[in-house]
Amino acid sequence: MAVRLDVGKRYDMPASFGPSMVPEQTEVSRAEALVLTTPTTRSAVERLVPSHFQVPDDPVLTIAHMAYHGVDYLGGRSYNEIVVSVSASFSGADGAVEASLALALWVDQPGALISGREFMGLPKILGRISDLDEAMRFTCAEYEAPVIEGGASDLVAFAPERLAKLNARAEEVRTFGWKYVAAAGGGSDVDQPLINVMRWRYERAWSGRGDFRFMLRSFAEAPMSAAVIKGLATLPLGGAVRAFRGVGRATIDRSATRRLIAA
């Protein structure tokens, strides 16, 4: 008897062995974020953004180091992630939606890469990502070649009132995805804009100054990352780099992932 997939369930490849092991919601009991932001230019960002989305006049470039500990679908293991995103919007049937658009993500666990790419439309690449060190610095590499480095300094803790306001905003953090699957013979089998949701509850947070740099590499040094870094390095920095550091709990809410329908 041939394999028959249940249309009411989600599958990941190889799909012959049953529904996805990745749950609708992943509760992360300890999640850490170091987020670096700086203004950039619309003209530069538009060259990297799929046609489904629009870029605001004053976009923000974000580089985030994320650490997720005790992840259920990894058997309790942890993983680190680097997210490079820009401000964007989508003109949908229900009005305009604003969110960050992930241009590229590096992750250090294949399980996290597969679930994010196949279902959520997140452009994930396998990388070697350091933990944050005592100086609040990180590196991201492909094989032995560093491609991104960054960090934060002069961090000042949030007062309770400011932390409460942050958590009110963090109850639904939206990120655009772009699910693209090439077709045999040319074109695409799938070309869809998506919206994804995370929910944060920060226990502590800080703000300060940040810095980062993209490190150009040859194809031989970083086969999957070289072209990506070359493109990201074209984005100009329009001002100071701000840093945010947060520690708390997070929910990856896959049940909220939706395909976006154009107006």
- Residue 209 tokens, joined: 């100054």
Domain ranges (residues) in the chain = 24-259
3-state secondary structure of 164: helix
Quick count: other Cβ atoms within 10 Å of Cβ 155? 16
Q: Are 208 and 156 in contact, with CB atoms under 8 Å apart?
A: yes
Q: What is the pTM of this model?
A: 0.95
Note the pLDDT tens digit of each residue in 46-71.
Answer: 999 999 999 999 999 999 999 999 99
The pLDDT tens digits for 187-245 are 999 999 999 999 999 999 999 999 999 999 999 999 999 999 999 999 999 899 999 99
Q: What is the pLDDT of residue 178?
A: 97
How high is the pLDDT of residue 122?
A: 97
- Local confidence band at 135 (pLDDT 50, 70, 90 cut-offs): very high
Q: Per CATH, is 24-259 categorized as 3.30.2010.10?
A: no
pLDDT at 1 exceeding the cut of 90: no
Of 35, 63, 60, the closest CA to residue 213 belongs to: 63
Residue 263 pLDDT exceeds 90: no
Q: Burial, 73: exposed, middle or buried (Cβ in 10 Å; 0-12, 13-18, 19+)?
A: middle
pLDDT in tens, 139-176: 999 999 999 999 999 999 999 999 999 999 999 999 99
pLDDT, average across residues 27-51: 98
Q: What percent of the chain has pLDDT over 90?
A: 95
Comparing CA positions, the residue from 63, 97, 96, 94 lying closest to residue 81 is 63
**Residue 93 in this model has a pLDDT that exceeds 90:** no
Instruction: Show the tokens assigned to 33.
Output: 């974020």
End-to-end CA distance of the chain: 43
Return phi, psi of residue 185, to 5°: 90, 0
